[in-house]
Amino acid sequence: MSEMPASPRVSVTKSITREIFSASLPTCSASSSAVATSNYQDLWWRMNGTESGWGVNITHQGDTIFLTWFTYDDNGNPLWLVASAMAKTGQGVYVGTLYRTTGPAFNAAWDPSRVTATAVGFASLSFSDASNGTFSYSVNGVSGSKPITRQLFATPKTTCS
């Protein structure tokens, strides 16, 4: 039996800032009460981790949602998709174009000319309440739909309004 060689360790530090794409920024705080909210900013997944390994991150400002979807492609390789401007089309309903993005590696010098965003389909979110909804998608002609719920990993939970 042979051992795999250790990967070289790479240390990278980058400055980050909050992305602002609406004049209506959410106010978030820790709350132990079940507060009804129409702001869906959070990490969402299939209830109780029944499909652990994928999920959607939602940043919600005003009537716009920025969504990242981490999942896997047909070969089991990691796949990240984004919907950068999901528009509100009804009460608790948001729709937008899904893009696959590519760019420089995390440890390479940042070169914005190497960043590409290719439209690959659409995504929609339909929330039944503050903690549950449906994520629907079409990627390269393959469509699907999954029930989603907020992923709770701390008490008290964070609520945004």
CATH (domain of 97): 2.40.128.20
Q: Is residue 15 situated within a structural domain?
A: no
What tens digit of pLDDT does each residue of 23-78 get? Answer: 777 777 666 555 556 789 999 999 877 888 899 999 999 999 999 999 999 999 99
| Structural domain boundaries, residue 75 | 37-104+114-153
Instruction: Identify which of 24-28, 77-81, 95-99, 107-111 has the greatest average pLDDT.
Output: 95-99
Q: Is residue 10 situated within a structural domain?
A: no
Question: Is 93 or 31 the better-scoring residue by pLDDT?
Answer: 93
Helix (H, G, I), strand (E, B) or coil at 44: strand
The predicted pLDDT at position 24 comes to 77
Q: Is residue 72 situated within a structural domain?
A: yes
Number of domains in the chain: 1
Mean pLDDT, range 97-119, rounded to an integer: 93
- Percent pLDDT > 90 in the chain is 57
Work out whether strand 116-127 and strand 132-139 pair parallel, antiparallel, or are unpaired.
antiparallel
* pTM for this entry: 0.83
147: DSSP letter? E
User: Is the pLDDT score of 107 beyond 70?
Assistant: yes
Work out whether strand 64-72 and strand 55-61 pair parallel, antiparallel, or are unpaired.
antiparallel
Q: Is residue 9 situated within a structural domain?
A: no
Q: Is residue 77 situated within a structural domain?
A: yes
User: pLDDT grade, residue 20 (50/70/90)?
Assistant: confident
The predicted pLDDT at position 145 comes to 96
Question: Is 100 or 109 the better-scoring residue by pLDDT?
Answer: 100
Q: Is residue 76 situated within a structural domain?
A: yes
Q: Which regions of 25-141 does DSSP assign to beta strands (E)? A: 28-31, 42-45, 55-61, 64-72, 78-90, 93-102, 116-127, 132-139
C-alpha R_g of the chain: 18
Q: Is residue 85 situated within a structural domain?
A: yes
Question: Is 72 or 8 the better-scoring residue by pLDDT?
Answer: 72
Question: In degrees rounded to 5, what are phi and psi of residue 136?
Answer: -115, 150
